[in-house]
Amino acid sequence: MTDQNPDTKEKIMEVARILFANNGFEGTSVRDIAKAAEVNVASVNYHFSSKDNLFSEILCSGYRHCFDDLKDFCDKNSPDTEEALVHLFRYFLSRSHDLVSYFKMMMSTQHSHHTSACHAEGEYVGPPGGDVIIGILKSEVGSHISDRDLDWAVKSLFSNVVHIAIMFNCCFKSAGTPFTSAEELEQNIRRLTRVVVKELKDS
């Protein structure tokens, strides 16, 4: 008998995310997931059809949640690039352990379709909310900037924000290392963003 409760689906996804992160895609079976979620295998198959679909849905859920949060913030506040990146940093900071698990999942498989499935046709293929940041950059710098330069800017800023958010909670917070308080890191993000924006304006 299958459990069709939507809460069961969320529970399966949460349990599976941890198992996939710890054991990899190949090292995690549907039976392992069902046991950890305290459901039967039929329930996992009912909600996701296959392990492959479950894996993809977990990654896409994390991607969409980040995109929706950033877009909602920008729609309500009309921030400049600095403020948008600081908001993104705070978002990741509050979810750094989840972020680690998503990255471990992506590194556990060579199946590129797991991440490409998160993008709608015609959507910017890059970090979640990348097209939102591109829109803000264009309004600051001008629409004449090439797609290549915009892609460079978004990925450079995004990778820095992700890296320091993960490192802050995993290493910096308890180490007492100079210049690594959350406030200091936010200032560093602002500084880097100004450098990138200036580079785009001068290009």
Domain map (residue ranges) of the chain: 1-49, 62-202
DSSP state of 143: T
Is residue 54 within 8 Å of 43, Cβ to Cβ?
no
**pLDDT grade for 34, boundaries at 50, 70 and 90:** very high
Measured distance CA(198)–CA(92) in Å, rounded? 25
**Domain covering 62-202 assigned CATH 1.10.246 in the classification:** no
Q: What does the pLDDT look like over 41-62, one tens digit per residue?
A: 999 999 999 999 999 999 999 9
**CATH fold for the domain made of 1-49:** Arc Repressor Mutant, subunit A (1.10.10)
Q: What is the dihedral of CA 192, 80, 162, 191, to 10 degrees?
A: 20
pTM for the full predicted model: 0.85
- How many alpha carbons lie under 13 Å from residue 98 in its C-beta half-sphere? 15
Q: How far apart are the first and last CA of the chain?
A: 62
Beta-strand (E) ranges in 35-181? none
Query: 């920008």: which residue's tokens?
Result: 74
101-154 pLDDT tens trace? 988 898 877 655 556 566 665 566 678 899 999 999 999 999 889 999 999 999
For the CA atoms of the chain, what is the radius of gyration? 19
- Per-residue model confidence as pLDDT tens digits over 169-189: 777 666 566 667 889 999 999
